[in-house]
Structure 1
Amino acid sequence: MPIAHRFNQHTLVLTLSGKGLLQVNGLSSLLHEGTITWLDSSILYSHRCEPHHSHWSYLWLGFAGHGLDTLFDSLGVIANPVFGISKQRDPEALFEAILRDVETGSFLSDSRCFALLAQLISLLVSERAEHGELSGAVQRLQRVMELVRADLTRSWTVGELAIAANLSQAQLFRRFRQRMGTTPLDWLRHERVNAAKRLLVITDEQVGKIATQCGYPDPFHFARDFKRLVGVTPSEFRRQGRSARPRAP
């Protein structure tokens, strides 16, 4: 008999082999090899190996964050929690990379996990979009986010983001608040700083050049935003990140 659980986080489950059985709110779903299941574990649920199968092998990870509840609702996950992801997109590699970073617990693990988790969530959104299951509002925001991430160097304005989403500026603000829990420019600021964090540690580029690549032509503005969001200066973040790297034997 499966044990019912309730926690307070979101959970992704990747089925590696065999077949699982999930029950949430009286609805049952079969978990096939290669699928990803998204659970809001604050809702009572249970899962187990499907009774007619010999095993069910899976990876799972829990996470929390701003705007996840809204995205969960927008994707219709409560009614359809199972996502069929193409093997070419290699979700298993993303899961394993996140779990390695969590186990390592290094200074950089939070930043890397955030970036990898964003890729996983993007896969789920894309899967719903490909099957025509996204609301128009979510598709518009997804398009805006993909455009911005592909060109962080650009000095994006709210007006340009609104045009990309085919919305008025007021509608864009409202949709971002509803779906992401923040404003468009605050989301953009976090995207720029997260990209900079990665570049600071994996490259030897000058801080000013990294600032420009991430959309900050003024390095002082970059340093101010970076310290406000991260808690340390870009140079200090680079020093700490490099000192936390495992040394070659």
Structure 2
Amino acid sequence: MLTYNMDVTPESVWKRTTPSEAELAQPYYCTEAGVFYAQQHFSTARTDKESYILFYTLRGAGLIEQDGNHVILSTGQALLLNCRTPQSYCTAPGQSCWHHYWVHLDGVGVAAMEPLLFPGKKLTPVQITGAKMQELFETILGQMERGNVDSMVQTGLTLHGMLALCAQTILAEAETTSARQVILQAAEILRKNYQKELSLADLLADAHMSKSYFLRLFRRYMGTTPYNYLVNFRITQAKELLVLTDHSVTEIAQQVGFGDASNFSTRFAKATGQSPLQYRKSALKPLDFTREAGGFMSK
């Protein structure tokens, strides 16, 4: 169900498109976009819509509410909202206007970035400095008029750029927080001590936080679990040893902290798609080049 009051000025823009099968298969695509010069009584409320919406305020402020959370979106701030849960947004109380860009977007790429853009599962306004976000929105509006493969690719890249800009800003703002520093220090411990036997208890000793909270933060900031982070780092070190030394697989397994050659080979193959010996052979295989038409072509 949708209710709204379109209190916007005539120069407002609202564009719609119907994505093709090729577009729906992309990580990022959009269905609607616009710029609303909303006035004091502008409002929208809906129960659900199969998309996300990204706002960016040009002037004034908007009030966005969802799941008991409400935020004021002030000038220069962006916010991503998942429309699959009931929500409402309007010109903020006490404001005479809410001039804002918006785009309905979706795709697996958007869903994958949701944890970064909803830290703590809360609506999170992002302050974007400069004109970059406005330029990206104008690109989206321009590409919607073309409707070809080139515009599909450009739109996807632009949407990714918008979300990446928001995510990078959120992470940068959290850079100085104690929680982020704890996770960065834990990752440093893993890198420095990757040859040793390490446990989660070793990382939690100086963290002063619960196991579940630590694991949630580690995944948020490092993109994986502490164990997988350690395994991947060990495999990276093993790659160098396989290429730069003639040590046996068993010796390398012990040097990088796996200890057991069988476990090392299994982990290595899962991560790289090759056994350690296959990786060594392919990495050391000389390139065969032939000269053709004044250049080089790989045979």
TM-score between both structures, scaled by the size of structure 2: 0.45
What letter corresponds to residue 83 of structure 1 in structure 2? Answer: V
- Give the alignment of 1:221-240 within 5 angstroms: none
CA contact (8 A) 2:73 2:125 kept: yes
Which structure features the higher share of helix residues?
Answer: 1
Residues 205-249 of structure 1, C-alpha deviations (whole Å, 9 max, x = no match)? xxxx9xxxxxxx979xxxxxxxxxxxxxxxxxxxxxxxxxxxxxx
How many pairs were matched up?
Answer: 159
Corresponding residue for 1:140? 222
The match for 1:86 among 110, 129, 136 is 129
Unaligned runs of 5+ residues in structure 1 are 143-158, 175-182, 186-208, 210-216, 220-249
The match for 2:148 among 98, 106, 115 is 106
Kindly report structure 1 stretches of 4+ aligned residues shifted beyond 2 Å. Answer: 67-71, 73-78, 133-142, 168-171
- Give the alignment of 1:19-168 within 5 angstroms: 19-77=61-119, 78-87=121-130, 90-132=132-174, 135-141=217-223
What letter corresponds to residue 140 of structure 1 in structure 2? Answer: M
TM-score between both structures, scaled by the size of structure 1: 0.54
| Shift, 1:27, TM fit | 1.4
Task: Give the 3 Å change call, closer, same or farther, for CA 131–107 of structure 1 in structure 2.
Answer: same
| Shift, 1:70, TM fit | 4.0
Corresponding residue for 2:15? none
Task: Give the 3 Å change call, closer, same or farther, for CA 109–84 of structure 1 in structure 2.
Answer: same
Unaligned runs of 5+ residues in structure 2 are 6-42, 181-216, 225-234, 240-257, 259-263, 274-294
| Shift, 1:116, TM fit | 1.1
What letter corresponds to residue 82 of structure 1 in structure 2? Answer: P
Distance 1:121 1:64 in 2: 12
| Shift, 1:68, TM fit | 2.7
What letter corresponds to residue 44 of structure 1 in structure 2? Answer: P
CA contact (8 A) 2:55 2:79 kept: yes
- State percent identity of aligned pairs: 20
What letter corresponds to residue 15 of structure 1 in structure 2? Answer: T
Partner SS for 2:49: coil
What letter corresponds to residue 4 of structure 1 in structure 2? Answer: A
Corresponding residue for 2:285? none
Instruction: Give the aligned CA root-mean-square deviation in angstroms.
Output: 3.8
Residues 146-176 of structure 1, C-alpha deviations (whole Å, 9 max, x = no match)? xxxxxxxxxxxxx55x99xxxx9999xx9xx
Q: Which has the higher contact order (CA 8 A, sep 6+)?
A: 1
| Shift, 1:36, TM fit | 0.6
Correspondence 1:4 to 2:45: yes
